[in-house]
Amino acid sequence: MRAADGLGLILGALRGHRSRSLMLLLAMAIGVVAVNLLTGLAEGARLFVIGEFSMLGRNTLIVLPGRKETTGGMPPITGLAPRDLTLADAEAIGRLPAVRRVAPLQAGQLEVSVGNRTREAFTLGTSLEFFAIRQLSVAQGRPLPALALDQAEAVCVIGAKLRRELFGNRPALGEWLRAGDRRFRVVGVLAERGESLGMDLGEMLIIPVASAQVLFNREGLFRVFAELRGPQFQDGGKRQILALLKERHEGKEDVTLISQDSMLAAFDGILGALALALAGIAAISLLVAGILIMNVTWIAVHQRTAEIGLLKALGAKPRQVRLLFVGEAALLAVAGGLAGLLASEALLWLGRQLWDIPLQTPAWARAGSLALALLAALLFAWLPAGQAARLQPLVALRPPGGRT
């Protein structure tokens, strides 16, 4: 039997049983869509998190009050501190040779009002250096002025969304707003940027750190951001900061120092494992599709017994008969896999238009889903195809219920 004749028989069988062929093709397509869609969602989440942390800059270290021992997993985010971080600590860190700039942080919720418009706003007390460290830009006005860390001044920078909610269509620069029990003059409006590290910058109020300490009646700092002079200062900078704070805190190492790389490694590992787990769960649908192919192929073998007998009587070899049935399954798997791949890419594209998340399927998932679909089809079609190949011509050509 020539290859062209075999291909013609395969295509003819698929056309002759359109509903069966469409059912198998749809089952394979759904399995491939499930694998690619779920891994695309996990990969999108991973890229989104990496993009958020990349805004910190690779040379940024974050000092947290409180000591938590870690074993390479997710760095601690909260914890009780035996000793607070202070503005004096931040100033001392800024004088270290490896540190380019430092920004203390004080944070909390405050009621902000302009006239009869009132709302709750996330308020951040910091310094001018924070804008450079976090790569924040202002669309109007200017950032916070360069002040001594312990100098309180009644100025603020507000997010674009907060500006619209408090001032409407009126200009905000130079106007006064009330935050808590104090008044602040707006000197700048942040450029539109959306959320970053769980904070909506559009709804943020930024004031000098000394002013925030007075408003919150709290001297201890929430965080200290330290930007190093370059990647070559990473290890030395960590040692210098830890040694300095240990000396300042009566010999106790009661702070936690984390870097962007450690956070990225933790999130990357977690989300990478999640992507593999989701791909494994979705791959079960391809195994179900393979079982469906096996059942349908069994039925096809029984329905086409006479055709098989005629082919063998005309000289078709067992491997050629087996190849006909395996070829049908393989062709359906490839067609269904490609259709599922196109459908999943279309859905991920739609998701990218609706949400600001880089949803995309990694290359290994696309190739793996197609390969798994083909492998499942071949494996599950092999057994019934083998039965067809073993049929004897005379037995296959005998009519049902006929006598020997």
93-149 pLDDT, tens per residue? Answer: 999 999 999 999 999 999 999 999 999 999 999 999 999 988 889 999 999 999 999
User: Would you list the DSSP string of 92-149?
Assistant: HHHTSTTEEEEEEEEEEEEEEEETTEEEEEEEEEE-THHHHHTT--EEEE-------T
Local confidence band at 81 (pLDDT 50, 70, 90 cut-offs):
very low
What is the rounded average pLDDT of the residues 204-216? 94
CB atoms under 10 Å from CB of 399, counted, come to 8
Handedness of CA 368, 371, 377, 378 (dihedral sign): negative
CB 127 within 8 A of CB 147: yes
Distance CA 374, CA 337 (A): 8
DSSP state for residue 355 in the 8-state scheme: S
Local confidence band at 315 (pLDDT 50, 70, 90 cut-offs):
low
- Residue 176: φ, ψ to 5°: -110, 145
Residue 208 pLDDT greater than 80, yes or no? yes
In the prediction, which pLDDT does 5 show? 47
Q: Which of 159-168, 219-228, 283-292 has the lowest mean pLDDT?
A: 283-292
Residue type (1 letter), 90: A
What is the percentage of the chain residues whose pLDDT exceeds 90?
Answer: 32
CB 47 within 8 A of CB 361: no
Residue 180 pLDDT greater than 80, yes or no? yes
Residue type (1 letter), 185: R
Bridge partner list, 110? 121
Mean pLDDT of the chain: 80
Q: How much is the pTM?
A: 0.60
CB 64 within 8 A of CB 79: yes
Q: Which of 122-126, 324-328, 334-338 has the lowest mean pLDDT?
A: 324-328
Q: Which residue has the higher pLDDT, 377 or 52?
A: 377
User: pLDDT tens for residues 345-400?
Assistant: 999 999 888 887 788 888 888 888 888 888 888 887 777 766 666 656 555 445 55
Residue type (1 letter), 343: A
Q: Which of 77-86, 225-234, 366-375, 392-401 has the lowest mean pLDDT?
A: 392-401
Domain regions of the chain by residue span: 3-52+265-397, 83-253
In the prediction, which pLDDT does 253 show? 83
Tokens (6 digits) for 152:
């309180």
User: Would you list the DSSP string of 146-206?
Assistant: ---TT---SEEEE-HHHHHHHHTTS--TT-EEEETTEEEEEEEEEPP--EETTEEGGGEEE
- Residue 207: φ, ψ to 5°: -130, 165
